[in-house]
Every structure is written in C-alpha cells, then in structure tokens.
Amino acid sequence: MGAKRKCDNCGRTVPKNETIYEIKIELYAKAEDLEIDKDDLQEDHMAEIEAIIEALEDMDVEEVTDQVYECYKFDLCPQCRENFHSKLKLRSKENTQSIE
Ligand SMILES: [Zn+2]
C-alpha cells in the first residue's frame, strides 16, 4: 500500500517505525436556547421568516452546510502530536478549572 505518511503540520514524512496520529477538529454553531415570547410571534414576523427561507433556497446547499458544521482531519507526526497534546491539555484545563 502506498499510503502517504506525511505530517500535515510540519510536512515531515513519518517513517514506518513511528506512529502517525490523526487530529479531528469539529467546528459547529453552538446550540443555544431560543427565547421566543408571545410578542415575538406576531404576523409580521412571518414575512421575515419567509424572507429567510427564500434566501436559504437561493443559497448553495454546501454553502449553508459549511456555516453549520465543519470538520477537519489532519495527520500528525509524534512530535506535532505532542505539541498539540500539551497545548490542548493546557487549554482544556483552563476551561474546566471552575467545574472541578
Ligand atoms: Zn509534524
């Protein structure tokens, strides 16, 4: 099999005796609760919603999907994996500190 073993981060070819890692990044709009009160549900909003739907219909399906969900995959050599690992670990620690 001629599968290429190349690090997407540093561009280095990863030798067969080294493990190659894959990092997957998912990027999507955070789901937030929609707050709709009764005052918002008035008829003139229907026209607004219809305009939005019309605009969406004119858009390329891929274009719409890209705005909702993006997924990237990168191959990493052990060194770059270590690099990402320590940075991500540091970052997630910052974010979870208050929960613990
Ligand atoms: Zn690398």
- List, for residues 30-88, the tens digit of each pLDDT value: 777 767 666 666 667 778 778 877 887 787 766 666 677 888 899 999 999 999 888 88
pLDDT at 64: 65
* Cα 20 to ligand 1 centroid, rounded to whole Å: 9
Q: Which amino acid is located at 62 in the chain?
A: E
pTM of the model: 0.54
Q: DSSP for 53-94? A: HHHHHHS-HHHHHHHHEEEEEEEE-HHHHHHHHHHHHHHHHH
* Cα 79 to ligand 1 centroid, rounded to whole Å: 6
pLDDT at 100: 47
